[in-house]
Structure 1
Amino acid sequence: MLELKHISKRFGQSKQFAVQDVSFSIPEHEVFALVGESGSGKSTLAEFIVGLQQPTEGSIFWRGAPIQLQAHLQRHEQSRQVQIVFQNPDRSLNPYWKIKDIIAEPLILNKWTKLASQRKVEELLERVRLPHELLERLPTECSGGQKQRIAIARALALEPELLIADEITSALDPITERDILSLLSELKRDHNMSFLFITHRLETIRGFADAIAVMKNGMLLEMGATEDVLQHPANAYTKSLIEACYDDYA
């Protein structure tokens, strides 16, 4: 469904790379996890996919079509099929808008009627397990977990086929994190969605991701089925990430 081929990004005119020669693909209905420390290039790749940045080299394909080269209307259609939820909802949610208006924004921009938008917003709120009384609140009146669910609801408004979750549980407590992962698992199961899940913590994706790619310093070091990588890591850096998980829970 989504394929990245030999993606690189240089810093300006220098020979230094933010991302260097990264290739992977995400099949339909699967969860693909990008794992690595901060600054490894994970979020940069996500920004390439949704068009917030352009790579210096390489190509990105959506269902066989190179998305960087598509015409504006084609690019708009692709952007409806791929949505992203960012790490910090305090920066991605307008603090002056009510929750109902935040979730409805992509619907209004796509010329939905007010009544149809209202019904869709109510449906989305149920889908992410939030009470309807939140609709009249501002983001500042919601908890961190609630704000992340609101961001997920907004991303689901146009029924994307692929959802990019960029470190969306990193600032949450363990119980809330587990609830968000359970929600994403339900979305995958009930709506046949695919996910690109970005995290620096390997323990978050066991039992959720179908495949893992491990990144460091802009390069992809190791990739494979989740349990294969976790049980038999081939790279020393991957082994260190796994050991850090055990240290965290010691």
Structure 2
Amino acid sequence: MVEMAHIVKRFGQPPAAAAVDGVSLAIRERETYVLVGESGSGKSTLARILVGLERPSEGEVRWFPPQPGSAFAAHGHGKGGVPSSPVQMVFQNPDRSLNPYWRVQNIIAEPLVLQGMARREAYALAGGLLEQVRLPRGLLLRRPSECSGGQKQRIAVARALALRPRLLVADEMTSALDPATEADMMQLLMDLQWDSGMSILFITHRLDAVHGFADRMGVMRQGRIVEEGEAASLLRQPSTAYAKALLAACQYT
């Protein structure tokens, strides 16, 4: 579905160190690909390149079938004339990604309005999107400050789903949640994937959060993917010392 080929990202001119250093990976249809690694390993930078928020210094992102323009700019129309986008992102901190002055209704509807849908129609769809993430329509008129942390992340997911993405990128989205809320969120993502057929790129530094969730997994360190494989096999028997250390920290080995 999407392939990242030989991606390099430098912040500054060579010989500046590369935040992402020659990464290639592919994400398949209906797949959950989990990217793990410590803070500063380049995971979030790679995600921002995938969604079009950063330009790579080298390499390219290829969509199959091809998308017109960049991943971030490529929009079309899906079922029922609803605007669609190949990729959407849910960020780590909803307090920074959700407009604190807007009501939930506005937050969810805005991507649709920006793609040309009438505001009244977008508001009508917002309630259904909220229900998809298992929140009551009564939250539509609240502001983010009136919602819990788990509710705010679900609102962010609902906003991402508004454009019916083929790929949902979740960047450390459960890192601030308590274990029970995190487990509920992971189950929600699996159910949404089953219903919609979308793929998921899930980024985390915690392997204990993805056991039983991932189809394939990549381990990232110092800007490079140092190990990749089927998740069950990698969790059971990693081949690199770094992956073994990550697993040991989560008591898998």
TM-score past 0.5 threshold: yes
Letter in 1 for 2:12: G
Give the Cα–Cα distance (whole angstroms) in 1 for the partners of residues 242 and 53 of structure 2. 29
3-state SS in 1 of match to 2:191: helix
Distance 1:105 1:189, change over 3 A: same
- Is 1:96 the counterpart of 2:101 in the alignment? yes
Give the Cα–Cα distance (whole angstroms) in 1 for the partners of residues 182 and 204 of structure 2. 12
Task: Indicate the RMSD between aligned Cα atoms, in angstroms.
Answer: 1.7
Q: What is residue 241 of structure 1 aligned with on the other side? A: 246
Q: How far is 1:8 from its partner?
A: 0.8
Give the Cα–Cα distance (whole angstroms) in 2 for the partners of residues 74 and 174 of structure 1. 32
Q: Deviations over 1:73-97 (max 9, x none)?
A: 9933288120000000000000000
Q: What is residue 4 of structure 1 aligned with on the other side? A: 4
Q: What is residue 223 of structure 1 aligned with on the other side? A: 228
Letter in 2 for 1:59: E
Give the Cα–Cα distance (whole angstroms) in 2 for the partners of residues 38 and 240 of structure 1. 15
Which structure dedicates a bigger proportion of its chain to helix?
1
Give the Cα–Cα distance (whole angstroms) in 2 for the partners of residues 72 and 44 of structure 1. 16
Letter in 2 for 1:122: G
Note if contact 2:169-2:201 (Cα within 8 Å) is conserved in structure 1: yes
Give the Cα–Cα distance (whole angstroms) in 1 for the partners of residues 62 and 124 of structure 2. 34
Q: What is residue 211 of structure 2 aligned with on the other side? A: 206
Q: Deviations over 1:101-149 (max 9, x none)?
A: 1000001111212332122111101100001111111100100000000
Q: How far is 1:47 from its partner?
A: 0.6
Pick aligned residue for 2:156 from 151, 159, 166? 151
Letter in 2 for 1:20: D
Give the Cα–Cα distance (whole angstroms) in 2 for the partners of residues 246 and 41 of structure 1. 24
Q: What is residue 77 of structure 1 aligned with on the other side? A: 75
Give the Cα–Cα distance (whole angstroms) in 1 for the partners of residues 72 and 177 of structure 2. 36
Q: What is residue 54 of structure 1 aligned with on the other side? A: 55
Q: Deviations over 1:11-49 (max 9, x none)?
A: 311321111111110000000011001100000011101
Pick aligned residue for 1:160 from 150, 165, 176? 165
Higher deviation after alignment, 122-131 or 104-113: 104-113
- Is 1:22 the counterpart of 2:23 in the alignment? yes
TM-score (norm 1): 0.93
Q: Gaps (5+ residues) in structure 2?
A: 77-83
Letter in 2 for 1:131: P
Which segments of structure 1 move beyond 6 Å, counting only runs of 4 or more?
none
Q: Deviations over 1:192-240 (max 9, x none)?
A: 1100000001111111110000001101100000011001100101001
Give the Cα–Cα distance (whole angstroms) in 2 for the partners of residues 6 and 111 of structure 1. 35
Give the Cα–Cα distance (whole angstroms) in 1 for the partners of residues 6 and 170 of structure 2. 22
3-state SS in 2 of match to 1:246: coil
3-state SS in 1 of match to 2:180: helix
3-state SS in 2 of match to 1:175: helix
Give the Cα–Cα distance (whole angstroms) in 2 for the partners of residues 245 and 71 of structure 1. 41
Letter in 1 for 2:137: H
**Matched-pair identity in %:** 54
Distance 1:181 1:240, change over 3 A: same
Give the Cα–Cα distance (whole angstroms) in 2 for the partners of residues 114 and 101 of structure 1. 9
